[in-house]
Amino acid sequence: MKSSAVRLFTLSFLLLTLFAVGAYADGVNLFTAGSYAVLAGQTVTNTGPTVLNGDLGLSPGTSITGFPPGTVNGTINQTNGAAAQAQLDLTKAYNKAAGLSATGSLPGIVTNGTTLTPGVYSFTSSAQLNGQLILRGKPGSLFVFQIPSALTTASASSVIFINSLTGKQMTDKNIFWQVGSSATLGTSTAFEGNILALSSITLTTGATIICGSALARNAAVTLDTNVITRCGGTVSAVPEPGTMGLLGSGLVILIGAARRKLRI
């Protein structure tokens, strides 16, 4: 009987380990790039009183212009070791986001009022947001959008995260837009999430990013009277539905095995 109890304890410990591993297996982490509101590869150009609540980085390019009149409430890392490391971490996060298994697909044009639950969503080519996109999930839910080509938003479009537990509008740091070419946010767009672009990112007049960032691997970030506020800390991993399903199956198997051993 004592031997059976030991086996049950061992199985329970193994299950907890599987949960701990699974909870972090499918997320996206920006590591050092997570402190940046803006990170570019070639140039950063700003017009007007843009406010960056987070770091500003550039590597391997050498030209940052427009600060002032722009304001950086953080550190400016221009063509130095910190910016180079952030670019390496951005590349890792970009590849991770691009490599996740999709849990759903979206049409090229996302229309006003579209509501999505947590998951990994893929587009066939480019993506265009026309109006309001609502993301509904618990705090810390993971949303990843895989866009092989360009991302654009129409003027006055918005991305809103709604806490499914309270129904209140909140911010969420686990929203990622992996863009295979360039991203352009239209005039007065109210965006949320981290844009990870292979090429360039352009924010037109009055566009904002709440709880997110504009991170361009190879080309420029262009700003015009914008506000970008990153979320605090690096981005943590959150289990996907697929991972939780596998863990649930494992739980059933382990419990069954434990019961059989206890009968022996």
User: CA 27 to CA 167: how far, in whole Å?
Assistant: 24
pLDDT digits (tens, 9 = 90+) for 204-228: 999 999 999 999 999 999 999 999 9
Instruction: State residue 242's pLDDT score.
Output: 42
CA separation (Å) from 152 to 25, 95, 207?
30, 21, 12
Closest to 217 measured CA to CA, from 38, 27, 34:
38
User: CA 100 to CA 178: how far, in whole Å?
Assistant: 11
User: CA 37 to CA 184: how far, in whole Å?
Assistant: 16
Closest to 228 measured CA to CA, from 104, 88, 91, 49:
49
User: CA 116 to CA 39: how far, in whole Å?
Assistant: 28
Instruction: State residue 163's pLDDT score.
Output: 94
Instruction: State residue 15's pLDDT score.
Output: 42
Instruction: State residue 200's pLDDT score.
Output: 98
Closest to 143 measured CA to CA, from 132, 129, 133:
133
pLDDT digits (tens, 9 = 90+) for 142-152: 999 999 999 99
Q: What are phi and psi of 54, to 5 degrees?
A: 155, 180
pLDDT tens, residue order, the chain (264 aa): 445 544 543 444 444 433 333 333 468 999 999 999 999 999 999 999 999 999 999 999 999 999 999 999 999 999 999 999 999 999 999 999 999 999 999 999 999 999 999 999 999 999 999 999 999 999 999 999 999 999 999 999 999 999 999 999 999 999 999 999 999 999 999 999 999 999 999 999 999 999 999 999 999 999 999 999 998 644 444 444 444 443 444 444 444 544 554 454
CA separation (Å) from 158 to 74, 111, 193, 194?
26, 11, 11, 14
**pTM exceeds 0.85:** no
